[in-house]
Structure 1
Amino acid sequence: MRSPGTAATTGRTRPGRKALATRGRILDAAAKVFRQNGYTGTRLSDIAAAANTQAGSLYYHFASREDLVREVLRVAQERTNDFVMRRVDSLPESTSSLDRLREAFAAHLAAVLEIGDYTAATLRILGQVPEEIRASTLELQREYGLYFKHLFESARDDGSLRADLDIYACRMMILGAMNASPDWFHPERPKGLTVAGLVEQFDAIFMAGIATKKGNRRRSNMVDRVADPAPTPQAPAETRAAATIVRILDAAARVFRENGYAGARLVDIATEADMQTGSLYYHFDSREDLVSHLLRNAWHHTDDMVRRSVEGLPARTAPINRLCTVMSAHMLSILSEANYTSAMLRILGQVPDEVRATIGPLQRTYLELWRELLSEAQSAGDIRSDLDLSVVLMVLNGALNWTVEWYQPDTSNLTPAELAEEFCKLVFEGMAVH
């Protein structure tokens, strides 16, 4: 089976092959540049430079930037759709519905790792492109979603999947974890995990669940143990300035989320905050200083809420329940600050290295808390010993963080707290009937 997007070949050169190769090179370069700069921050000259071609040559293949981005989004979704459907359709007719679902997940993961720039670019620019382009992309995504919905329902209807889980939420959380994997999975590193090994870890986490029988007996619903977000104490003289800073950061989160880092101007943020552009410099030295505060606030908000939730648990709380509390607090935190989380996900790979370095220690400290709790739960026999905890950590964080891109509390049949408990059930107990 060919990898996603690989063209069939013959022994002789066909007319137009050079042009097709150039077009493919331009699309690959465009996906990478859109991923790095966002839509509004990308110029055709940037793409031409990345594709090692002249800017004028792009117009031979694409009439405009809109034409080019439309094709990047179409290729991203169609490559994934076609690859996954071909893989599943090639299975013998006798293949069980559960194994068809497993094959679809394996194929999806292979696809997004193969075209990681396209996957990440779609996330970062879909909200920025013209409505007509976004609508056509969403139609392809709906087709893909319906395909997975059918696979899920078939497995549930024949008794292979548990009936007490929300199919839509489970599907989106698993696909979200897979879509996040290109940002952290690097199979080319020596002694690193292979793609096949990563597929096995995903299957173990989401199909079988990470908890042992002992762990599942001890686990309880811990969502009600999550601490409320803590207000920041302020002296009376600081209240007005602090409120202005919050207003600026809230506006910046919305603008960075919609325009990307390169496409967000201070004037746009000032307009969103209903203030003069010059007033921003009273509180922030530069755009880099502003985005650095934004990213740190996003991390501090989640880190604080998670730590207070764990510290508020009784001393004898089972390790698996501490871990469940962390997962629940993380989800409720990012959903309560969705614009901040989404902005961070979309621009973290685009900001200057010196800005990204300012939150590196925060990320490492926070993830170390997760590692400690995972290790404690494994040592206590609450979660399985055959799992790579480093992979589990990244998979779970990817699934949780991606919820801000698909979960709509106003239209969902699950509240944020119910979604958090659904995630814990999925992760600890798995979807498959054992």
Structure 2
Amino acid sequence: MPPSAKAKITKADKTRARLIEVATRLFQEHGSGEVTVRRIAAAAKIEAGSIYYHFASRDEIMRAVLESGVGGAHEEVMQAIAKAGPDCSPLERFRAALSAHFKYTLRRHFSSRMKEIRRLPKRLRDHHMKQEREYAAVFAGLLKEAQRKGLLRPGFDLPVVRMLAIGALTWAAEWYDPAGAKSPDDVADELMRVLTGGIAR
């Protein structure tokens, strides 16, 4: 690709990314209700008024934080599925996707972001939920493929199975101990044993 065709990362891009990073940390540590634009600016070491060059409001910052979380999770899940490879069964790829989701949740405190969705104004919440649906569709597609290939017992509601699986690992971050005996992969394996013991042929 010629240099002229490459997207250039501007100073504004770097500042925006820095603000999202700082806001993410502050929301995680203090909760969104305690974090003001001025506080974000102070932590990022810029003038409070300068933030409005990058974001129209505090809610727009919150939306960017949430989108960054879902976007990052989506990317890592897709990488895990690709690494598993097309020769793996859809259930094996589903397990890889769940493990990637859990690792991302632990590393980026994804569950704490999810708690903030209900605080967004409806306009921003609706936009974010569209991104959530696209992310969920990755897991849904793997379960549907497994169903088409006769790998699942009939009679199960696949959307419910998907939501239970993702939800279980998202909120497992609240009790999981990284210093404990179980690795994130072990936890994902345990969940898959529970799921496949109930829905697999």
- Interval of TM-score (by shorter of Structure 1 and Structure 2): 0.7 to 0.9
5+ unaligned residues in a row in structure 1: which ranges? 1-13, 210-425
What secondary structure, in the 3-state scheme, does the structure 2 residue paired with 1:127 have?
Answer: helix
Answering whether residue 26 of structure 2 is matched by residue 33 of structure 1, we say yes
Percent of residue pairs identical: 31
Answering whether residue 138 of structure 2 is matched by residue 147 of structure 1, we say yes
Pick from 150, 156, 171: which aligns with 1:180? 171
Aligned pairs for 1:11-410 within 5 A? 16=9, 19-116=12-109, 118-121=110-113, 123-187=114-178, 189=179, 192-193=180-181, 197-204=183-190, 206-209=191-194
Q: Is the 8 A contact 1:100 1:151 kept in 2?
A: yes
Change (3 A) 1:95 1:202: closer
Change (3 A) 1:198 1:16: closer
* Cα offset, 1:69, TM superposition: 1.6
> How far apart, in 2, do the equivalents of 1:49 and 1:179 lie?
31
Moved over 6 A (4+): none
Paired position in structure 2 for 1:8: none
Q: Provide Cα deviations, 1:165-188, integer angstroms capped at 9, x if missing partner.
A: 33222211221121113333343x
| Matched letter for residue 133 of structure 2 | R
Q: Is the 8 A contact 2:102 2:188 kept in 1?
A: no
TM-score normalised per structure 2: 0.80
Paired position in structure 1 for 2:4: none
Moved more, 41-50 or 105-114: 41-50
What secondary structure, in the 3-state scheme, does the structure 2 residue paired with 1:162 have?
Answer: coil
TM-score normalised per structure 1: 0.40
* Cα offset, 1:66, TM superposition: 2.6
* Cα offset, 1:148, TM superposition: 1.4
Q: Is the 8 A contact 1:44 1:65 kept in 2?
A: yes
Change (3 A) 1:154 1:135: same
Structure with greater proportional helix content? 2
Change (3 A) 1:134 1:56: same
Q: Is the 8 A contact 1:39 1:129 kept in 2?
A: no
> How far apart, in 1, do the equivalents of 2:174 and 2:166 lie?
14
Change (3 A) 1:32 1:172: same
Change (3 A) 1:175 1:136: same
Q: Is the 8 A contact 1:23 1:61 kept in 2?
A: yes
> How far apart, in 1, do the equivalents of 2:33 and 2:121 lie?
11
| Matched letter for residue 123 of structure 2 | E
Q: Is the 8 A contact 1:152 1:167 kept in 2?
A: yes
> How far apart, in 1, do the equivalents of 2:184 and 2:200 lie?
19
What secondary structure, in the 3-state scheme, does the structure 1 residue paired with 2:51 have?
Answer: helix
5+ unaligned residues in a row in structure 2: which ranges? 1-6
Change (3 A) 1:151 1:135: same
> Larger C-alpha radius of gyration, 1 or 2?
1
Q: Provide Cα deviations, 1:408-427, integer angstroms capped at 9, x if missing partner.
A: xxxxxxxxxxxxxxxxxx59
CA RMSD of aligned residues (A): 2.8
Paired position in structure 1 for 2:200: 432
Aligned pairs for 1:409-420 within 5 A? none
* Cα offset, 1:56, TM superposition: 3.4
> How far apart, in 2, do the equivalents of 1:40 and 1:193 lie?
35
Change (3 A) 1:75 1:50: same
| Higher RCO, Cα 8 Å, sep 6+ | 1
Paired position in structure 2 for 1:251: none
**May I ask how many residue pairs the two structures share in their alignment?**
195
| Matched letter for residue 200 of structure 2 | A
> How far apart, in 1, do the equivalents of 2:72 and 2:152 lie?
28
| Matched letter for residue 153 of structure 1 | K
* Cα offset, 1:41, TM superposition: 4.1
